[in-house]
Structure 1
Amino acid sequence: MKRFILFAALLAGGFAASAQEAIWGGGEVVSPEILPDNRVTIRVLAPEARKVEVTGDFLPAQRVETPFGQADAAGVAALVPVGNGLWKYTTPAPLAPELYSYTILVDGFRTTDPSNVYAIRDVASVSNVFLIEGGRADLYRVDDVPHGTVSHVWYPSSVLGEDRRMTVYTPAGYENSGRKYPVLYLLHGMGGDEEAWVSLGRAAQILDNLIAAGEAVPMIVVMPNGNVARQAAPGASPLGLERPTPQLPHTMDGVMETHFPDVVKFVDTHYRTVRRKEARAIAGLSMGGFHALHISKQYPDLFDYVGLFSAAVEPDASVSSPVYADSDGKLALQFSKAPKLYWIGIGSEDFLYKANEEYRCKLDGMGYPYTYYETGGGHTWRNWRIYLSEFVRLIFK
């Protein structure tokens, strides 16, 4: 009996030691370290490496060629060896307040920072993140304010003949208030999914903080999956742990727009919503901006607020769909019904800037009112978080 007790004690001790290894094994290298003056130090332990680099959006951008023309890519900086296999890089100047992302390159092999547990997936890539607080970036923090609830919800689509997944944000107090709320339908870009706005866009934090400050009306935010060839985000559908890709069929061919009333119908029958045009908004980034543009004019009695964030505008010339037919006539009908807000935001270096400029010229020529918001930079989440925080301040008021 004593031998059994001793064996059990040793076994338990072994598990404890193993657990302690898991707890303490990763705590030796501090990275990233945000210094008091908002410079940032990245450290990597790589004793066998010949070269270690960091690439991220806090570094000076590089111009690269893409299928859509020139665009900004994340900059690259070299870490220097400081002894005992440790490599280090410190930004030469303080960083402006922002949520930044980065990855590590070890002898050309891209990986995440092993000392930073905070990582986000964007399509098929995973990056670490860190937050420099202050100014607008404080909207991206989890502050000590009342918090809304984020749920992943499945809904039936009669048009597509399948169940599909969406993410829904309900504001603080929704569960017990008994009141009805306006709804913002918030759409992701190409390669994204129903998780993008809450993970990359910090939508829940932005809404929580603006609502708590009285700068935004309490609202429900519905974030559907805009990829009609996929029921849900990678890993959350019957397809299993497939590799994410932006190259999906039926992304901008009218199918998403055709099935969208299924989304609105489900939300209006399963949530306490104000079921009127003046209590509905639709907005989206890039491909989602394209969908918001065409959904809002296809169903001109559904939405009184429209937000186009770095939006694609025209369908590909090879696409034929009734959704895109008589575009000028549908736009005329939409504006004859006097939407309360038609909001366009884009970065001055965005590869879609010219297309948006031409679209604004078209609206100007037809005398259709809109609000325009221009930032610096390009086709990035840094801009889309700004556009969301500006747009939600203006709607439902």
Structure 2
Amino acid sequence: MKKMLFMCPLFWGALSALAQPARPAPTPNDTLKSVHVSSANQLVFNLYAPKATTVTVSGDFSKSYGPKNLVKAESGVWTYTTEPIRPDLYSYDFVVDGVKTIDPKNTQLKEGENGYSNLFAMPGSEMDYCAIKDVPHGTLEQVYFFSKVTGKTSRFHVYTPPGYEKMKASLPVLYLQHGGGDNDASWSTAGRANFIMDNLYAQHKAKPMVVVMPMGHPGSGFYMNPGIDEDPYYKQLFDEIMPLVSTRYRVQSDRNHTAFAGLSMGGLQALNIALFSPEKFGYVLPLSTGYFPPQQKMLEEKFAAQLRNPEINRLKLFWIAMGGESDIAYKNGVAVNALLDKYGIKYQTNSYDAGHTFITWRHNLVEFAPLLFN
């Protein structure tokens, strides 16, 4: 018979203590709130970095978007307080001694092509439009596919409305494009597109639609010229993404049930689609964009005949929005509108005065989504 070996409980306790790593000494970071709202509706940023020499924060909480210096306390906590601002969803980036640093106390992130930024939702009635509320929610999916255009695997996001699984009818589709430096996840993180659409549906303000959010720069390079031949984006969109969406989802693929909206770089893509491939879409909505002066000149010198294409004025809606005069694309946009006027191209304009930021573009979506497919 084997003998059982019993150990004294005190022995086990001592052995367990030896096996546990020593707990670090307490610091102010243990209970620190990296972002909070003051009683005066200011955002207060805090970062514990006792060995740092400089800490800045930048983001769309400021129209200038430039870096703001945090001040260091003896505790090692750096702090910056904004001017009073209105409730909304804000993005921000810390930079510590010249290195961009994700806030370690905040898991809310905006995904971009080259990294992440943090997000903070400042509560209040003004951000009700994009809040996560007790309403029926749609489904957000990631779709991966191998692109023959680029020779690599790519991805796009798709939002389907609440109850889509039980719907028998095919739905119209909105292609919603991000800007330069962002990616196909940006409209569902910083853009809150899925929650905005949920809230619009709960208020019966928009028709059910599938929203497709592609990667806007599948190849290397940044393409600003007029036309759809240089940038591989258009071939990937027309030949791969749109057919794949029609296969995987119950969507109507005719022109009058297909819309395209894009911001900044995606807005240039929207302009190119309106001018060079209008027959594919019934609704085109460029946001915070405009060709640069050399491209404006190129457009008129090389593509004047294209500007007279009658298909452009057969768009059910050509809706051009800006972020007010502080939008960095404002002057280009005004010049492009004047060129459209010269060639008799019909369009509507809209503005939300929050500059070249996702605050503007979220409110753009709230405005234009109810106009689609009516």
| TM bracket (short chain) | 0.7 to 0.9
Contact 2:56 2:95 in 1 (8 A): yes
Q: 1:112 to 1:216 in 2, by over 3 A?
A: same
Deviation at 1:80, TM superposition (A): 4.5
Aligned with 2:210 (options 190, 195, 220): 220
Counterpart CA distance in 2 for 1:250 and 1:80 is 40
Counterpart CA distance in 2 for 1:277 and 1:60 is 38
Deviation at 1:286, TM superposition (A): 1.4
**Partner SS for 1:139:** helix
Aligned with 2:42 (options 30, 39, 43): 39
Residue 165 (structure 1) aligns with? 155
Residue 2 (structure 1) aligns with? 6
Contact 1:310 1:353 in 2 (8 A): yes
Q: Does 1:270 align with 2:261?
A: no
Deviation at 1:385, TM superposition (A): 1.7
Counterpart CA distance in 1 for 2:160 and 2:14 is 50
Deviation at 1:374, TM superposition (A): 2.3
Deviation at 1:88, TM superposition (A): 3.3
Aligned with 1:210 (options 196, 200, 221): 200
- Structure 1 length-normalised TM: 0.78
Q: 1:111 to 1:329 in 2, by over 3 A?
A: closer
Report the structure number with the largest CA radius of gyration: 2
Deviation at 1:119, TM superposition (A): 2.9
Aligned with 2:282 (options 282, 286, 304): 304
Contact 2:58 2:94 in 1 (8 A): yes
Counterpart CA distance in 2 for 1:136 and 1:360 is 31
Deviation at 1:137, TM superposition (A): 2.1
Q: 1:25 to 1:177 in 2, by over 3 A?
A: farther
Contact 2:63 2:354 in 1 (8 A): no
The residue type equivalent to 1:180 in the other structure is S
Q: 1:180 to 1:359 in 2, by over 3 A?
A: same
The residue type equivalent to 2:110 in the other structure is I
Query: What is the CA deviation profile of residues 91-118 of structure 1, one whole-angstrom value per residue up to 9, with x for unaligned ones?
Result: 3x43212212223344555423333232
Contact 1:53 1:105 in 2 (8 A): yes
Residue 122 (structure 1) aligns with? 112
What are the within-5 Å matches in structure 2 for residues 199-348 of structure 1? 199-229=189-219, 248-249=220-221, 251-252=223-224, 253-262=230-239, 263-313=241-291, 326=303, 328-329=305-306, 332-336=309-313, 338-347=314-323, 348=325
Residue 240 (structure 1) aligns with? none
Contact 2:176 2:262 in 1 (8 A): yes
What are the within-5 Å matches in structure 2 for residues 33-182 of structure 1? 33-59=36-62, 61=64, 73-81=65-73, 83-91=74-82, 93-155=83-145, 157=147, 159-160=149-150, 163-182=153-172
Residue 227 (structure 2) aligns with? none
Deviation at 1:196, TM superposition (A): 1.8
Aligned with 1:373 (options 331, 350, 353): 350
Query: What is the CA deviation profile of residues 221-256 of structure 1, one whole-angstrom value per residue up to 9, with x for unaligned ones?
Result: 111112232xxxxxxxxxxxxxxxxxx336452432
Identity of aligned residues (%): 35
Contact 2:28 2:77 in 1 (8 A): no
> Which has the higher mean CA deviation after the structures are superposed, 40-49 or 358-367?
40-49
Counterpart CA distance in 2 for 1:366 and 1:188 is 28
Contact 2:256 2:282 in 1 (8 A): yes
In the comparison of the two structures, how many residue pairs are matched? 358
> Which has the higher mean CA deviation after the structures are superposed, 94-103 or 307-316?
307-316
Counterpart CA distance in 2 for 1:120 and 1:114 is 14
Q: 1:7 to 1:271 in 2, by over 3 A?
A: farther
Deviation at 1:273, TM superposition (A): 0.8
Q: 1:9 to 1:293 in 2, by over 3 A?
A: farther
Q: 1:78 to 1:344 in 2, by over 3 A?
A: same
The residue type equivalent to 2:80 in the other structure is Y
**Partner SS for 1:332:** coil
> Which has the higher mean CA deviation after the structures are superposed, 4-13 or 370-379?
4-13
- Structure 2 length-normalised TM: 0.82
Q: CA RMSD in A?
A: 3.4
Residue 360 (structure 2) aligns with? 383
